[in-house]
Each structure stands twice: as structure tokens, then as C-alpha cells.
Copies of this chain bind each other. A is one copy, B any other.
Amino acid sequence: MEETPAPPAFADMVEAHERIRPHIHRTPILTSAYLNRLTGAEIFFKCENFQKGGAFKARGACNAVFGLSDAAAANGVITHSSGNHAGALAYAAERRGVPATVVMPRNAPEPKKAAVRDYGARIVECEPNATTREAVCAEVQRETGAEFVHPYNDARVIAGQATCARELIEQAEGLEIVTAPIGGGGLVSGTCLTLSALAPEVEIIAAEPKNADDAARSLRAGQIIADDAPRTIADGLKTPLKPLTWGFVKAHVSDILTATEDEIVAAMRLIWMRMKILIEPSSAVPLAAIIANPDRFSGKRVGVILTGGNVDLDRLPWLTTGVDA
């Protein structure tokens, strides 16, 4: 039985922002006249693909790592992740000069492993299933006393991700909707935390792959629904909601829109082509949802969080066939 940690408060976001400021970028907002014409909306893209480590995850990881006491930090940090949180935690630990361990499935993509190793973290491989992963993680914790930092079901992590929405509303005034992709819900929860306090008039709409629509179904059902190993190209969005993130989502998210795999790839390519920036598939889901639901966004000022830019340049989705699951 997992314990439900206490949710972060607004003051935790403010404190997080001060704490992580030396270690993260205040990423820019970009706009595209073409995409505005296409969607009828005025879209402000918050470019977390330019963030340290190539994804917003540096915010939460830095807040968790730099919030530790010196004594606790000395034992290092540990997480399980095959995605951007792994690299982000490795980055944060390297900045603080403490050891980091990442438990990764042995079939994780080599570029993801390389990113973790580049920041000097130790990788412990495990079988690609949740039971083994958690057992291995617990074992390393017992051995080292390392602090476990969950990718999203962690108040420190959510408070860190919440700083992104704060910058967004400072940089783009008068937003009517903010939309972000939802996987485990850490970024969306942080967005809820910030906007419910600073800009409660802004509607929060999450976006999700139709092939991994567990959050949308959870919102309709009024309880967490978790899928087993969904298949989608948006590999950052396969994780289920957890109690902490579910609390924010059910309280503040007005809708969760979905997009097909083809719509996600098309939106990704459109952003590459028209904005000349690299985003990963997960980051394209909000634009895909906007294009698929013009009536919801037309005429509105919309903030879109581009969550990351870590792609395998040897395997672009429009050059491969089928879904990369």
C-alpha cells in the first residue's frame, strides 16, 4: 500500500523557485504566426525543451535535491525512471556534488542511459517491470541510505514543476487557457498549484495520447484508472496518475483532451517545420489536441508548455513506421 504524501502548498512553489533559480533556465516564450492562423488561437509556447537537460523535469529534481539537508544529501539520491526525470535527477545531483543512482529497465534506449551517465550518475539495471524495479530501488536505498525522489508523486517535485506555470503567466499576459501534456501528472499538478493561486481565471486543459488516455478516463470516472503498458509514441506520457497528482487534477483540471498517434506526429512535425525547434513527441500532444478541437481554443490566448526536446535523431517518427512502444 502506497502512502499518500501531503500535497505541496503555494508557498512551497515560491520557495522552490528561489531555490532552483541558479540551476535552471527561465526558458523563453516563442510564438508562430503560422500556427496562430492555423488554429485561430493566439498561442504562447513555453519552451522547456530549452531547459537544462532538455526538459522541465530539471525544475522538480533540483528542488528535491537542493532542498535536502547536507546530511541527507550526502547519502545521495535515487529514482527509477527511463525518461527525462532520470537525467534531471542526475543533473541536480551533479550540481550539488552528491551521488545519484537511477534504476532503469535494461532495455531502456541507449541515448537515455548516456544522458544519465554524462551527468556522472550510476545506473542500476533491472528487468522491465514495476515489481523488480521497486525491489531493486528499495535494495539500493537500504544499502546507501539514498533519498528516493519519485518522478512525480512527490510534493517537492510538484512544487518544482509548478515554477514553470509561474514564469509562463509572467511572460505571457492575459492567458485564458493553459494546456500541458499529462502522464503521471507532475507538471499538470504544479500548473494547478500555481494557477489556482495566482490566476484562478485561467482554464487548465490537459492533453493526452488516445492510446494512453488513462487520465481522461480517470477524470470521467472520478477515480484513478491505471493502464498496463500503454503503447504510444509519446513515451513520457505512459505513466499513471498517483494519489498526489490525482488530487490536483480532479480539483483543477477542467478537461483532458486526447490525440491520436498520427495527430501527435503531425503536430510534432509542424512545430519542427514552422518553429524550427526540436520537441519530443510528448510535447506535441497539446498542439495536436488544439488542432483537433478548434472550437475550444479559437479566439483564445493559450499557453502551451513544450515539455521537452529529447529525441533520438536517428529515429524520427515520420521516418519510421508504426508506433514506437
Residues of A within 8 A of B (CB): 28, 30, 49-50, 54, 269, 272-273, 275-279, 309, 313-314, 316, 318-319
Question: Would B313 and A313 count as touching, CB distance under 8 A?
Answer: no
Q: Which of B49, B54, B318 contacts A313 (CB 8 A)?
A: B318
Bound together, the chains give a CA A314 to CA B320 distance in angstroms of: 11
Contact partners of A313 in chain B: CB under 8 A? 269, 272-273, 316, 318
Interchain Cβ contacts under 8 Å between A and B, 19 examples: A28-B28, A30-B50, A49-B276, A50-B275, A50-B276, A54-B276, A269-B313, A272-B313, A273-B313, A276-B277, A276-B278, A276-B279, A276-B309, A277-B277, A277-B278, A278-B278, A313-B316, A313-B318, A314-B318
Contact partners of A279 in chain B: CB under 8 A? 276
Contact partners of A277 in chain B: CB under 8 A? 276-278
Bound together, the chains give a CA A188 to CA B313 distance in angstroms of: 31
Bound together, the chains give a CA A201 to CA B121 distance in angstroms of: 44
CB distance from A307 to the nearest CB of B (A): 12
Bound together, the chains give a CA A272 to CA B49 distance in angstroms of: 11
User: Which residue on chain B has the smallest CB distance to residue A30?
Assistant: B50
CB distance from A164 to the nearest CB of B (A): 16
User: Which residue on chain B has the smallest CB distance to residue A47?
Assistant: B276
Contact partners of A319 in chain B: CB under 8 A? 314, 319
User: Which residue on chain B has the smallest CB distance to residue A50?
Assistant: B276
Q: Which of B28, B54, B276, B316 contacts A316 (CB 8 A)?
A: B316
Interface centre among A30, A49, A309 (most CB of B within 10 A): A309
User: Which residue on chain B has the smallest CB distance to residue A271?
Assistant: B278
Bound together, the chains give a CA A41 to CA B274 distance in angstroms of: 30
Bound together, the chains give a CA A11 to CA B28 distance in angstroms of: 33
CB distance from A34 to the nearest CB of B (A): 10
Bound together, the chains give a CA A54 to CA B272 distance in angstroms of: 11
Bound together, the chains give a CA A269 to CA B278 distance in angstroms of: 12
Q: Lowest 9 A-B CB distances belong to which pairs? A: A276-B309, A276-B278, A49-B276, A277-B277, A50-B276, A276-B277, A272-B278, A272-B313, A54-B276
CB distance from A99 to the nearest CB of B (A): 22
User: Which residue on chain B has the smallest CB distance to residue A310?
Assistant: B276
Contact partners of A272 in chain B: CB under 8 A? 278, 313
Contact partners of A316 in chain B: CB under 8 A? 313, 316
Bound together, the chains give a CA A49 to CA B275 distance in angstroms of: 9
CB distance from A62 to the nearest CB of B (A): 15
User: Which residue on chain B has the smallest CB distance to residue A308?
Assistant: B276
User: Which residue on chain B has the smallest CB distance to residue A278?
Assistant: B276
Bound together, the chains give a CA A275 to CA B54 distance in angstroms of: 9
Bound together, the chains give a CA A54 to CA B172 distance in angstroms of: 24
